[in-house]
Amino acid sequence: MKWIRNILASLGWILAVPAIIYAFASFQPYQYAKPENPMPSVETIKSIRFIESTSKSNAEFIIPTNDFPMVSLLFAGSRKDSKPSKWVFFGDLYVDLLDCDTVRFELYTTHKSTGAFKTGEQYYRGGIDEQFKSVLTKYISNK
């Protein structure tokens, strides 16, 4: 009977080791993900619209062409976030491209230094939360 327990114990480790290796390989918090900029290159952008969701009217604001590089820099160095938290929705940024495609960025307020957003089905952490708010709310106050 003792030999059966030894076999079962060995079998448990044999099955557990691949599961542990898989868990470590698939774990990739945003801090360790490769930095990227999911914003299309400035040369391919036709227009950028920001719809701020915290106002009652959900007003739409057009970002001036000469500010496209500054808005693009907000997303530089972003990292994919495979386990996003629950954040407060701040607004939508619609990037209309010259090829008639549109890329939507859902922006969130994290109340922490690192900003958060989603484009397509992918969540990201990047930029600075306060910079997103200050740059984009500038257009609200100028309207």
Tens digits of per-residue pLDDT, 98-113?
A: 999 999 999 998 887 7
Are 108 and 117 in contact by the 8 Å Cβ rule? The answer is: yes
CB neighbour burial string for 81-94, b if at least 16 within 10 angstroms, e if fewer: beebeebeebbbbe
Nearest alpha carbon to residue 76 among 131, 126, 135, 137: 126
Q: What is the DSSP string of the chain?
A: -HHHHHHHHHHHHHHHHHHHHHHHHH---GGGSPPB--SPPGGGEEEEEEEESSSTT--EEEEPGGGHHHHHHTTTTBEE-SS----EEEEEEEEEETTS-EEEEEEEE-SSSEEEEEETTEEEEEEEHHHHHHHHHHHHHH-
Tens digits of per-residue pLDDT, 56-68?
A: 667 788 899 999 9
Nearest alpha carbon to residue 79 among 42, 107, 133, 115: 115
Query: Could you tell me the domains of the chain?
Result: 34-142 (3.30.1490)
- The predicted model scores a pTM of 0.72
pLDDT value of residue 6? 63
Tens digits of per-residue pLDDT, 14-68?
A: 554 454 444 444 444 555 567 788 999 999 999 999 988 876 667 788 899 999 9
